[in-house]
Amino acid sequence: MKRIGYISTEWLIDTDITVIGGLASEYELHFFYVCNFNSPRYSIEKLKSFCLIHNIRLHLYDHSAKYLSLKTFWLNYRIIKDVSRLNPELIVKINSHLYWLTLASLLLRKKIVYGFHDVKPHSNTKGGLLIDFVIKQTIKLNEMFFVYSSTQYNYFNKLWPNKYVVNVGMSVKSFGESNAECPPISEGVRLLFFGRIEAYKGLSDLISCIEKLQEEGIDNLNLSIYGKGPYWPNCESLIKTRKNYNLNIRFIENEEIAKLFSSHHFLILPYRDTTQSGPLLIAANYGIPIVAPRFPSFLEIYSENSALFYDKGNLLDALKRLSTFTDSDYSNLKNNAESLKNRLSEKTISNNYINFFNSILNNDNY
């Protein structure tokens, strides 16, 4: 059984957790995982239990320092030394880092494959210029990569046609079962905005539209906001009355998520730009339709018969249309959304990884 060192951080655990179990059935998998022990995004005890069940060797690293701090430098050095001692046949690194790239170039002589969620950083990303530089240098100095959507695959191939890249896709994200049900949509439309609140996600645009509709007398749209992030103060300042809002500006525990999604009619993604979306894949798991701009990365998962798509800049018109939805209108979208779970199963996506990794492990040219 081939040995793989898989290195990632807590910011990406929702994607990693859906595939590492499948990888461990094919390889001797060592999971090098960086998180803040004082406030982990995913329960460390649950992760340990998960890894024990799936026979994954877990290597934990406590870290909360800034990007360019000396502590971050030593963290990357420690991981590289630990990986080097492990001597795996393949190293998988999710995203890159300036210190990692520098040290790995000097100290690692094994095959490294990099996974990038965003080949180009989102607009308004903190430290975006540095991150963009590191991504480009990582691609320049290495040969093997994978991405998570056709949009990113096409973008990557356009810029670096001579590199080896594969689109592994992303699976639905399950957080357990739920018996929660929504009332008929004719009694009011329940919209859910979920996740970290960043400028590029367009929550301020959504709130402005909700406020405008209320001024026009359209008040059957109810918006739940679950999450937190640096852009929330900008959004909160736009709310004039809390009548149509359910605000939960905090970290959302995993145990809450199944009930939360199942009790809303739509997940709304008013993004200004995007590559892929974790909340979208949670919605797909629970068969929840979405409201979103007609971006290729969204159309790759949902279709016109399982979502309410709108052209960029036309969010207000889409919400007006949504306010007139009948129970029959919603039922048609809901039935089609419920078919997504099988097409995007964890097993299917894990097999994409395995096929890609085996192509590398069995090819002496890489």
User: What CATH number is given for 185-343 in this structure?
Assistant: 3.40.50.2000
What is d(CA 43, CA 48) in angstroms, rounded to the nearest whole number?
Answer: 9
Give the predicted TM-score (pTM) of the model: 0.80
pLDDT over 60 at 366, yes or no: no
The tens digit of pLDDT for each residue in 294-314 reads 998 899 889 999 999 999 889
Give pLDDT, residue 344.
Answer: 85
- Please state the rounded mean pLDDT for residues 338-361: 91
Share of the chain above pLDDT 70, in %: 97
pLDDT over 70 at 275, yes or no: no
Q: Is 237 helix (H, G, I), strand (E, B) or coil?
A: coil
Give pLDDT, residue 124.
Answer: 63
pLDDT over 70 at 177, yes or no: yes
- Specify the CATH architecture of the domain 3-171+345-361: 3-Layer(aba) Sandwich (3.40)
The tens digit of pLDDT for each residue in 37-54 reads 998 888 999 999 999 999
Q: Which of 60, 142, 128, 62 is nearest to 100 (CA)?
A: 142
Per-domain residue ranges for the chain? 3-171+345-361, 185-343
Give pLDDT, residue 127.
Answer: 66
* 3-171+345-361 matches 185-343 in fold: yes
Give pLDDT, residue 14.
Answer: 84
Per DSSP, what are the bridge partners of residue 268?
291
Which two three-digit tokens encode residue 253?
A: 């525990």
- Highest-confidence segment of 168-172, 189-193, 194-198: 189-193
Do residues 54 and 21 lie in contact, with contact meaning Cβ atoms separated by under 8 Å?
yes
Torsion sign, CA atoms 349, 343, 291, 18: negative
Which residues have CB under 8 Å from 147's CB, separation 6+? Answer: 115, 116, 117, 119, 153, 156, 165, 166, 167, 168
- Identify which has the larger pLDDT, 175 or 194: 194
What is d(CA 47, CA 147) in angstroms, rounded to the nearest whole number?
Answer: 24
- Rg of the chain, C-alpha, whole Å: 21
- Please state the rounded mean pLDDT for residues 153-165: 94
Give pLDDT, residue 122.
Answer: 67
- Please state the rounded mean pLDDT for residues 341-366: 87
Give pLDDT, residue 264.
Answer: 97
- Please state the rounded mean pLDDT for residues 184-213: 95
The tens digit of pLDDT for each residue in 113-147 reads 999 988 887 666 666 789 989 999 999 999 999 99
Which residues have CB under 8 Å from 164's CB, separation 6+? Answer: 143, 144, 145, 366
- Please state the rounded mean pLDDT for residues 246-268: 94
Which two three-digit tokens encode residue 319?
A: 């919400």
Give pLDDT, residue 178.
Answer: 84
pLDDT over 60 at 60, yes or no: yes
